[in-house]
């Protein structure tokens, strides 16, 4: 259980770097759709290379239903990334992050209905506190850029993210490998984004400035996609989807810290309060989950 919590935290820190890559790639002409396509291609190639070297069984799909599941995961992953990047470009990084992480609300509702997970008082209050902390950390209260289409697209990124996590939970519960699920999700994400993203334009942007763009694009694939999604999917084997998704709200905390230290943004009192609130709620969630597991083990020992 502790390892699963650690996986989620590390994944969220990596996801928190997304705004950095979008910030530095946008001036070179890359659109949200093009960054989504490159992210998918690089991520798929990395995962496919790993599977080719260490476990070729990961390429085998067990029937039509599993194929459809992976296509659905790739579609929602495409929707998540494209809407997220587009919202960043139309509004701001902080606004896009907040809109994306309304998704724990959807996750908890889906988890209760689909997986029959119990929505306890502690979990509900923790998620509420995390969302409040997310708003405080974002800087929206202090007055941010407001763009209605960008806000609506940001909301769609949260919805797509919520559905993706539910599908990922279904995949691992059916015995699917996190490596295979993540690899095929990236593949179908790349296929969906490839054609409308004008690959020739992407090549021209890279040819014009290869030194900054190539490392940034590789980092966009590895740091914001391959490693965090693999770690997050792995955590779903032991963590309830609602808890894992609620903890993933750590991303806005990471994104804020990176923006303070790397992008020159200065934190205000609201941001600091939000960071403290998010950390406190995450700790509360972890302690509640560990206490529940200990209680379950104790009951199983007493009633074999």
Contacts of 145 (CB under 8 A, 6+ apart): 91, 92, 95
Query: What was the pLDDT predicted at 40?
Result: 92
Average pLDDT over residues 244-250: 69
pLDDT at 302 over 90: no
Of 250 and 38, which is predicted with more confidence? 38
Q: Which two tokens stand for residue 117?
A: 């997970």
Pick the range with the lowest mean pLDDT from 64-68, 166-170, 187-191.
Answer: 166-170
Give the structural domain span for 145: 2-291
Measured CA to CA, the distance from residue 51 to residue 73 in angstroms comes to 19
Residue 304 maps to a domain: no
Average pLDDT over residues 74-96: 87
Q: pLDDT of 16-67, one tens digit each?
A: 898 899 989 999 999 999 999 999 999 999 889 989 998 888 898 888 889 9
C-beta of residue 11 within 8 angstroms of C-beta of residue 229: yes
Average pLDDT over residues 273-293: 70
**Tally of CB atoms within 10 A around 152:** 13
Query: What was the pLDDT predicted at 297?
Result: 41
Query: What was the pLDDT predicted at 255?
Result: 80
Dihedral angle over CA of 242, 117, 62, 48, nearest 10: 10
Measured CA to CA, the distance from residue 242 to residue 153 in angstroms comes to 23
- Prediction pTM value: 0.76
Of 222 and 102, which is predicted with more confidence? 222
Of 301 and 275, which is predicted with more confidence? 275
Please work out, in degrees rounded to the nearest 5, the angle formed at the alpha carbon of residue 26 by the alpha carbons of 86 and 151. 20
Average pLDDT over residues 178-190: 89
Q: pLDDT of 94-109, one tens digit each?
A: 777 777 766 666 666 6
- Print the SS3 string covering the chain: CHHHHHHHHHHHHHHCCHHHHHHHHHHHCCCHHHHHHHHHHHHHHHHHHHHHHHCHHHHCCCCHHHHHHHHHHHHHHHHHHHHHHHHHHHCCHHHHHHHHCCHHHHHHHHHHHHCCCCCCHHHHHHHHHHHHHHHHHHCCCCCCCCCHHHHHHHHHHHHHHHHHHHHHHHHHHCCCCHHHHHHHHHHHHHHHHHHHHCHHHHHHHHHHCHHHHHHHHHHHHHHHHHHHHHHHHHHCCCCCHHHHHHHCCHHHHHHHHHHHHHCCCCCCHHHHHHHHHHHHHHHHHHHHHHHHHHHHHHHHHHCC
When pLDDT is cut at 50, 70 and 90, the band that residue 301 belongs to is very low
Measured CA to CA, the distance from residue 44 to residue 189 in angstroms comes to 9
Please state, in angstroms and as integers, the Cα–Cα distance from residue 281 to each residue in 127, 255, 285, 286, following that order. 7, 18, 6, 9
Mean pLDDT of all residues belonging to the chain: 81
Residue 297 maps to a domain: no
Residue 137 maps to a domain: yes
pLDDT at 289 over 90: no
Residue 270 maps to a domain: yes
Residue 150 maps to a domain: yes
Residue 64 maps to a domain: yes
Residue 302 maps to a domain: no
Q: pLDDT of 118-165, one tens digit each?
A: 767 877 787 788 778 777 766 666 655 556 788 789 889 988 988 887
Query: What was the pLDDT predicted at 164?
Result: 87
Query: What was the pLDDT predicted at 89?
Result: 85
pLDDT at 82 over 60: yes
Residue among 198, 219, 191 at smallest CA distance from 74: 191
Residue 299 maps to a domain: no
Query: What was the pLDDT predicted at 237?
Result: 75
Query: What was the pLDDT predicted at 39?
Result: 92
Name the domain count of the chain.
1
Measured CA to CA, the distance from residue 71 to residue 192 in angstroms comes to 10
pLDDT at 296 over 80: no
Query: What was the pLDDT predicted at 132?
Result: 82
């Amino acid at each position: 259980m502790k390892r699963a919590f650690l996986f989620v935290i590390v994944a969220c820190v990596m996801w928190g770097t997304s705004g950095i890559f979008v910030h530095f790639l946008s001036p070179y002409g890359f659109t949200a759709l093009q960054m989504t396509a490159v992210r998918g291609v690089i991520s798929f190639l990395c995962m496919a290379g790993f599977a080719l070297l260490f476990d070729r069984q990961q390429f085998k799909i067990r029937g039509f239903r599993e194929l459809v599941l992976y296509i659905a995961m790739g579609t929602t992953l495409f929707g998540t990334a494209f809407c997220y990047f587009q919202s960043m470009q139309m509004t701001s990084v902080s606004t896009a992050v907040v809109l994306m992480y309304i998704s724990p609300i959807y996750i908890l509702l889906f988890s209760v209905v689909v997986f029959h997970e119990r929505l306890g008082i502690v979990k509900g209050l923790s998620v509420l506190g995390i969302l409040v902390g997310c708003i405080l950390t974002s800087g929206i209260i202090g007055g941010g850029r407001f763009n209605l289409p960008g806000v609506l697209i940001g909301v769609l990124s949260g919805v797509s993210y919520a559905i993706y996590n539910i599908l990922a939970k279904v995949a691992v519960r059916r015995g699917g490998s996190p490596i295979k699920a993540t690899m095929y999700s990236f593949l179908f994400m790349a296929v969906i984004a490839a054609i409308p993203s004008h690959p020739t334009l992407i090549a021209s942007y890279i040819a014009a400035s290869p030194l900054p763009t190539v490392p940034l694009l590789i980092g966009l694939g590895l740091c914001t996609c391959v490693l965090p999604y693999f770690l997050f999917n792995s955590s779903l084997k032991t963590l309830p989807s609602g808890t894992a998704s609620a903890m993933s709200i750590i991303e806005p905390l990471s994104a804020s810290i990176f923006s303070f230290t790397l992008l020159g943004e200065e934190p205000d009192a609201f941001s600091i309060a939000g960071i403290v609130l998010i950390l406190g709620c995450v700790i509360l969630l972890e302690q509640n989950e560990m206490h529940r597991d200990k209680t379950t083990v104790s009951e199983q020992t007493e009633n074999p």
